[in-house]
Chain A
Amino acid sequence: MIEDNTQPAPIIELSGVTKEYRTKATFFSKGYTNVMAMDNISLTLQRGEIFGLVGQSGSGKTTLGRLLLKLESPTKGIMKFNGKPINDLKGKDLKTYRSKVQMIFQDPYQSLNPHLSIAETILEPLIVNKIGDIHSRKEKVIETLDTVSLAPGKEYYDRFPHQLSGGQRQRVAIARAIVLDPEFIVADEPTSMLDATIAIQLFKLLQQIRKKYNMTFLFITHNLAAAQFLCDRIAVIHDGVIVETGPTDRVIQQPEHPYTKKLIQAQPKFNF
């Protein structure tokens, strides 16, 4: 991939990142085998862009998200955040990194703690990172709730997840992710559990947030149409290998790799 030299330094830079999982040897099996989840992946994400990672289940797209969050370490390769390597972050540095990088998970029914009220859910990152005092935290939570269109924030403050719909829960998850003003957010299939009408509202919300805070998003999805709607650039991943990268419209209108073509072919369409 040819990068334009005039562009500012990328926020995320992966070079030659490989992740292997080793299956356990059990009593019956002949020993362990290595499963290559990601094979020699190189990517750069520019600040403020929404980058889509598109692929089937098992293609390694979630693994990439987990690596970027430092939930796992790569077997090989270098990962850089704002120009600094993050492979070996530990202790305080890791905590700082994690406050700048946040995650929105797929299933809002499982990613929110049912025992915590909405306020407690969103306060937690602030408390953990010792930001502000009781009053400023409360203000920040209400402000964030307003940002994700759970307005007025006061009304949702003391509610619990079970009192909210799926779309509202996902908004809470987004609020929790943005409350620390992170620089980079990994969104792993954030709307695949939601109805089309709700999904599109969330896409609009993500676009607003990106614009307002100049945040960078990695949007992981199997839905090409959603990626086309939301993303500036996409990468198509297949069996742990990135087969095609480029501006979204170019990749979808003039796919070069046979797998991309297959993926486009399989999208449900209204042809009858």
Chain B
Amino acid sequence: MTLLQVENLSVGYKTKKGILHAVNDISFTLEQGRSLGFVGESGCGKTTIGMTLMGLLPENAVITQGAIHFNGSNLLHFKDEQWRNFRGKGISMVFQAAMNALNPVIRVDEQIMEAIEVHSPDIPKTEIYKQVKNLFNMVQISEDRLRDYPHQYSGGMKQRAIIAMALACNPKLIIADEPTTALDVIVQDQILQEIKKIKKALNTSVIFISHDIAVVADVCEDICVMYGGQIVEKGKREEVFKSPRHPYTKTLLASYLSLDSDKNIKVLEIQKPPDLITLTGGCRFADSCKHKSKNCENHTPGWVDLSPTHQAFCFEDILNKDNND
């Protein structure tokens, strides 16, 4: 069952110099129980997508076109009241800065109870407390830490508590925006395994946003690679990471350092990121692309099907050329 369908979504921010096109003509679908990852560098628009889905865009943002169908309703037609009921229940979000996402003067259990109380005022308190205990069991925080204040938690525990809070109202979709960026590798590994386990147990869909491709590759079944506000390659994880076709995806994979990396890896230098205020018609990655031709500067690339599930936003001749070297 298709849970989320985003069609031709474009989001811009009003600035003094004009509208900054942060997200440009993006389409993707997400099935119930599947996980989708967005990877790209800072400023490529991945967080803007998450914020649009949550209805949390700042004042100066404008949605210039597109539709977001979630479970039969178009989210872009929601009024404030509807958004309030929807957040947490339909989609909930795990934010980047776990350290700052909890209220420091309220005990952790009360913060999670509050989330449930707001959405279902009829449930008695004892029942809610039972649910909170279950949530804590699920994210593996021991029950005697329920009454603690956030400052008594370590970074990893805070992030677990945030995940528990995101799960509190049984959302159909969880958006995790760089949930492990502030954590070190060992704790990161634990949290990622936790997210995978929960997704499997509850059949929740997950959208995972990160700049770290290995983290996304660990959690997500489907991948969208973003550059300059556009999706440039999408497909199954195996397709995108084992046989990348778009020159940007290749660059991104080449610059990823793992323990198996060759010390002499040649790094393609990425030039300045594209100017998203004054858009030119051509490919946005052209300046950094080693296969750039006249065509790339003057014509907008199109989607090229590489397999039924794997597509790249480029020109066919370049994709073929790149595949041969």
Contacts and interface: CB of A to CB of B under 8 A. Distances in A.
Nearest to B155: A57
A24 B41 CA distance: 42
A106 to B, nearest CB: 11
Interface in B218-261: 218, 237-238, 241, 251-252, 255-261
Contacts of A166: 42
A266 B185 contact: yes
B259 A225 contact: yes
A66 B265 CA distance: 33
A243 to B, nearest CB: 14
B218 A268 contact: yes
Given A200-B257, A201-B269, A266 B263 contact: no
Given A166-B42, A195-B41, A225-B258, A268 B267 contact: no
B56 interface: no
Contact of A270 (B189, B241, B263): B241
Contacts of A204: 267
Contacts of A268: 185, 188-189, 192, 212, 214-215, 217-218, 258
Given A166-B42, A272-B238, A225 B186 contact: no
A225 B261 contact: yes
B42 A195 contact: yes
Interface string A206-248: 0000000000000000111110110000000000000000000
A238 B186 CA distance: 12
B214 A269 contact: yes
B186 A262 contact: yes
Contact of B267 (A56, A57, A197, A270): A197
Interface in B265-282: 265, 267, 269-270, 273
Contacts of A196: 41, 211-213, 252, 255-257
Contacts of B211: 195-196
Contacts of B218: 268, 272
B184 A224 contact: no
Q: Looking at B42, B188, B212, which has the most chain A CB atoms within 10 Å of its CB?
A: B42
A249 B47 CA distance: 37
Interface residues of B, number: 36
Contacts, number: 90
A12 to B, nearest CB: 24
A270 B256 CA distance: 11
Contacts of A195: 41-42, 211
A209 B184 CA distance: 28
Q: Looking at A56, A228, A263, A268, which has the most chain B CB atoms within 10 Å of its CB?
A: A268
Contact of A229 (B41, B192, B261, B270): B261
Contacts of B270: 197-198
A166 B269 CA distance: 16
A196 to B, nearest CB: 5
A67 interface: no
Contacts of A165: 273
B184 A222 contact: yes
A267 interface: yes
A197 B251 contact: yes
Contacts of B212: 196, 268
A165 B42 CA distance: 10
Contacts of B265: 200
B127 to A, nearest CB: 34
Contact of B258 (A198, A263, A266, A269): A269
Interface string A249-272: 000100000000011111111101
B186 A56 contact: yes
A267 B252 contact: no
Contacts of A228: 257, 259, 261, 263
B257 A270 contact: no
Contacts of A263: 185-186
Given A196-B257, A200-B267, 16 more contacts: A56-B184, A196-B212, A197-B255, A199-B255, A204-B267, A224-B185, A225-B257, A225-B261, A228-B259, A229-B257, A229-B263, A266-B186, A267-B258, A268-B214, A270-B258, A272-B218
Interface of B: 41-42, 155, 183-189, 192, 211-215, 217-218, 237-238, 241, 251-252, 255-261, 263, 265, 267, 269-270, 273
Interface of A: 56-57, 165-166, 195-201, 204, 222-226, 228-229, 252, 262-270, 272
6 contacts: A195-B211, A196-B252, A200-B267, A223-B257, A267-B259, A268-B215
A-B complex: 10 closest residue pairs judged by Cβ atoms = A268-B214, A195-B41, A225-B257, A266-B189, A197-B255, A222-B184, A266-B186, A56-B184, A266-B185, A200-B255
